[in-house]
Amino acid sequence: MAGVKTEAINPDPLLSRQRRSMKTPRSVLIADKTADWVIRIGGLSVILAVFGIMVFLAQAVVPLFTGGQLKGQTKAVLQSGGHKTLTDFLDEYRTLSVAVDDTGAVSAFHIKTGVVINAPSFDFGGQTASAFARTLAGGYVAFGFSDGTLRLGRLVIAVDVIDDTAAPADLRALGTQGDRTDGTAIYAKVSEAQLRRTLVKVELDDAQQITPNGTAIRALDYRVGGTAERPARSFITVDADGIGRVTLSETTKNFMTGKKTVKLTTSELPGLPPGVLVSGVLMTEKADQVYIAEKSGTVYRFDTRSFSAPTLAETIDLAPGAVDINVIGFLIGEQSIVVGGSDGSVNIYFKLPSDTASSTDGYTMVHAKTLEPHSSAVVAMDVSQRGKTFVTADAQGQVWMRHATSEQVLLRLSPGDEKPAYQALALSPRQNAVLAIADNGSAYAWDVDVPHPESTLQTIFGKVWYEGYPEPTYTWQSSAGTDAFEPKLSLMPLIFGTIKATVYSLLFAIPIAIGAAIYTSEFVHHKVRAVVKPTMELMASLPSVVLGFIAALVLAPIVETWIVAILMAFFVMPLGLFFGAYMWQLLPYRIQLKYGASPKFVGMIIALFVFGYLSYASGSVLDGIFFAGDFKAWASGTAGSGAPFTALFLLPVVFIAAWIIMGRVSEVRLSSLMRSNNRFKAGVADLGRWVGTLLIAGTASYAIASVLTSLGLDLRGGVVDTYVQRNTLIVAFAMGFAVIPIIYTIAEDALTSVPEHLRAASLACGATPWQTAISVILPTAMSGVFAAIMVGMGRAVGETMIVVMAAGNTPLIEWNIFEGLRALSANIAVELPEAVRDSTLYRVLFLAALTLFVMTFIVNTLAELVRQRFRKRTAAL
């Protein structure tokens, strides 16, 4: 190094020889310029990259809130011949649309081109269907006729993969892009040698007589349950006389003969008014609930768990006032019912258990959500097979795509200037296309892109009323077992978890860290400081995975066993230290001076150990006094009274109050007593005063606690409740290890950097070191100490491994210190590896990361600003 230096400082020998030409060598200039550019560009790009993190996270989050986008729109004309369209739907790949009219004719067309595709039709034998039902998945259909018969069938869009060579020859020439049709099927390339063929297939069973006297069937719903071998088909019919019937048709196959037998069970629904005008009927898949909606708005809910004896469970008006029910339907999961009214209103109802219900089964329908109304009557609706998205159409020809949980209108689709009267509406399985068929045979198809229909700011940060929940809640429950399960992605429980972990760990860490920092900077010998400080700094680099492991697998079982002793130690140890101090004061002054350094510190350690052991040894006695002998039962609120522990909890505050009051009252007398006696007697007096204050404070706090308890205030149910093994107390302990060194180091630096002359001046004026530390040093360094706390807080907010391992990961919103929590950071670590790229969960987790980023950034910036102010202030002193 030295050689290099010389070279630079002394003129280069080469240069000195050419002294006359003062020109700098080209290589030096080039090197200088290159370095200049490299450093400038490199430096700026690193700074940009670091800020790019925030931008990147934000851009990943934005699509959550953008609703939907219209990608394209096509129109086709079907040969309807004036018949009523019963239903229409689309295939998985958004290539084919199928519609059925009431004569059984099936019309299909290729969405991209509008080319009509030949499809087989249902043969009704010249009849016209008077009622129709289709299952949400599986393509099962049922037709009811005016002669009281009913025919079951299937209408499916069949998809199969065929060899390239099996396709019609002219298709192969059409290139490889997109999907094409030859008028009978749609073909799309899936790989080099394979094609996907999509075509329509129909099946129709024989007619079965449902109404005994041949009354026309007016309304119908149909569900298929059971297994593939033993399907249980159930349907409900309402005939022109207003009589409702539920029918269960079970097919069993004899294993020996292979013969199928169909068993029909039909029962009439009681309690329907005669001649009721029905606008819709609904049945659940398990066939245990049936809803019959009267046109005027009254809905009859039947309990059909017993098929032979159905009962009317509840009668409720779901369209109050002069509004008619125009459309009614289940959302996926068959809990929520969407009701579209003649005034354009769209409301969502579901049933909830209720004590005061007038119903017979203990449930009652509640009006959960009022969605944005259409300007004219709702005429058609279709719901998604994969989520709570649905589409509604109104009499003006407007089609709105909505989401039930987020209550938002995702897209407002309109057919241009026309005002078609829609008869059927369809939402594609992947929620990427909407199809509407009007009475004149016009079919409108919209290509849409709605990536995240379920998320709005309200669903992520606000309370959401999920179906089946008694009230709107903040809920995080992301994993979905079935399509019907709705992921509940509220970040609030996680943000709360982060805050809870931070608050409790700081409550534990701040007193220890700041106390230790003051003591280190003001009271200990510099040799002790030279050992303690670097050790603490070293501790700051302990990997948090290690802390989490120790906390969860070693500490948690120990704390669970010795919980009483550990809780008591929080109170006993400070008492022990006080006691040690008063004993110390009784020592001869000479000894106090001689052993005032390290031996005194050792004395403190001994006091901690002795009183720690005392609280351990007297665990069962204290358990009896405070926790009725059984801590866990006590914490759950099933045993004992809350008063003793409340008293203990209040003791520190009451003690300080009593200390101040005592000081005021007996100030003069005591100080004259102290001045007039020798040190020993003064020490005894001081000890006596402390014991007296403690006794008074103990009595007072017990009295206050008793009053509070009799008023019904109890710590249990709030900060203390049912004990679980991995809880916030453990997290606070473990996080203490991570946070204490940080707060300690920074606070100690701040305290030490208070100019020495302040300390000297204070001492010179006769202040004791204690008075100097508390009245001079601490106020001066306050902003630095505050910054230390903020930095510690930043670390606690973002800490991941400790909370993943020790916190139990339960997303609850309660302050109970003996219950676990789920923090933002832990949630990301646990769920992101499994989240599908660009899914809603993936983006919400990015939002969680962004939230964490913003939270820590604010905390850290505050700390930095305070610290800079502190630096300026100390520099000015």
Provide, rounded to whole angstroms, the least separation between the CB of residue 780 and another protein. Answer: 16
C-alpha separations of 143 from 94, 246, 809 in Å: 26, 15, 51
* CB-nearer residue toward another protein: 86 or 791: 791
The contacts of residue 483 (CB under 8 Å, 6+ apart) are 332, 385, 386, 387
Query: Shortest gap between Cβ of 616 and another protein (angstroms)?
Result: 11
**CB nearer to another protein: pick between 143 and 744:** 744
Min dist. Cβ of residue 300 to another protein (A):
51
Smallest separation, CB 51 to another protein (Å): 7
Shortest Å distance, C-beta 805 to another protein: 6
When the beta carbons of 443 and 802 are compared against another protein, the nearer one is 802
Please identify, using beta-carbon distances, which residue of 331 and 516 lies nearer to another protein.
516
Distance (Å, whole) CA 341 – CA 347: 8
Residue carrying the six token digits 């593939």: 228
- Shortest distance in whole angstroms from residue 592 CB to another protein: 5
Do the strands 378-383 and 363-371 form a parallel or antiparallel pair, or are they unpaired?
unpaired
- Spell out the long-range contacts of 132-137 with Cβ–Cβ below 8 A and sequence spacing 24 or more: 132/86, 132/87, 132/100, 132/102, 132/220, 133/220, 133/221, 133/222, 133/235, 134/87, 134/89, 134/222, 135/222, 135/223, 135/224, 136/330, 136/332, 136/383, 136/385, 137/385
Sheet holding 116-117, edge to edge: 85-90, 96-101, 106-110, 116-117
453 vs 683, which CB is nearer to another protein?
683
Give the tokens for residue 54.
């925030």
- For another protein, the closer of residues 6 and 356 by Cβ is 6
CA distance 384 to 450: 12
CA-closest candidate to residue 271, choices 228, 232, 313: 313
Look at strands 422-427 and 409-413 and give their pairing.
unpaired
Minimum distance, C-beta of residue 33 to another protein, in the bound complex (Å): 8
Q: Could you tell me the smallest distance in angstroms from the CB atom of residue 158 to another protein?
A: 26
Q: How far is CA 589 from CA 155, 395, 593, 600, in A?
A: 101, 98, 6, 13
- Closest approach of another protein to the CB of residue 340, in Å: 40
CB closer to another protein out of 34 and 265: 34
Instruction: Report, in Å, the least distance between residue 754 CB and another protein.
Output: 12
CA atoms within 13 A on the CB side of 824: 26
**How open is the CA angle 325-408-392, to the nearest 5 degrees?**
35
To another protein, the closest distance from the beta carbon of 501 in angstroms equals: 12
Between residues 259 and 675, which has the closer beta carbon with respect to another protein? Answer: 675
Q: Which is nearer to another protein, 571 or 815 (CB)?
A: 571
Q: How far is the CB of 263 from another protein (least distance, A)?
A: 48
Nearer Cβ to another protein (228/764): 764
Choice between 612 and 698, CB closer to another protein: 612
Closest to another protein by CB, 265 vs 561, is: 561
Alpha helices by DSSP H, 541-597: 544-549, 556-561, 563-586, 589-594
Contact 405, 384 (CB under 8 A): no
- Closest by CA to 517, choosing from 541, 534, 495, 533, is 533
Q: Tell me how far apart the alpha carbons of residues 877 and 781 are, in angstroms, rounded to a whole number.
A: 12
Query: Quick one: 714 exposed, middle or buried, by C-beta within 10 A (0-12, 13-18, 19+)?
Result: middle
**Cβ neighbours of residue 61 under 8 Å, at least 6 residues apart?**
843, 846, 847, 850
Q: Which amino acid is at 828?
A: I
CA 69 to chain centroid, in Å, comes to: 26
Query: Least distance in Å: CB of 499 to another protein?
Result: 14
Cα dist from 859 to 377, 562, 865, whole Å: 52, 36, 10
Q: Would you say 162 or 581 has its CB closer to another protein?
A: 581
The nearest distance, CB 770 to another protein, in angstroms, is: 3
Tokens for 306, please give them.
């017993």
Long-range contacts, 303-307 (Cβ 8 Å, 24+): 303/360, 303/361, 304/246, 307/246, 307/248, 307/265, 307/267
For residue 89, the minimal CB distance to another protein (Å) is: 30
**Nearer to another protein (CB atom), residue 65 or residue 595:** 595
| Closer by beta carbon to another protein, 77 or else 553 | 553
Give the C-alpha separation, 72 to 56, whole Å. 29
329 vs 792, beta carbon nearer another protein: 792
Nearer to another protein, 5 or 260 (CB): 5
Residue 323 CA: distances (Å) to CA of 327, 338, 393, 422, 492: 12, 15, 17, 20, 38
Dihedral sign from CA coordinates of 340, 343, 346, 348: negative
Per the DSSP assignment, residues forming a β-bridge with 198 are 159, 186
> What is the smallest separation between the CB atom of 731 and another protein, expressed in angstroms?
15
Q: For another protein, which is the closer residue by CB, 394 or 522?
A: 522
Q: How far is the CB of 733 from another protein (least distance, A)?
A: 9
Closest residue by Cα to residue 278 from 217, 367, 190: 217
Give the Cα separation of 321 and 728 in Å (integer). Answer: 52
Helix (H, G, I), strand (E, B) or coil at 449: strand
Strands 69-77 and 442-449: antiparallel
Question: Quick one: tokens of 242?
Answer: 């207003």
Supply the minimum distance, in Å, between the C-beta of residue 571 and another protein: 13
Enumerate the β-bridge partners of residue 234. Answer: 223, 248
Q: Whole-angstrom Cα distance, residue 482 to residue 137?
A: 14
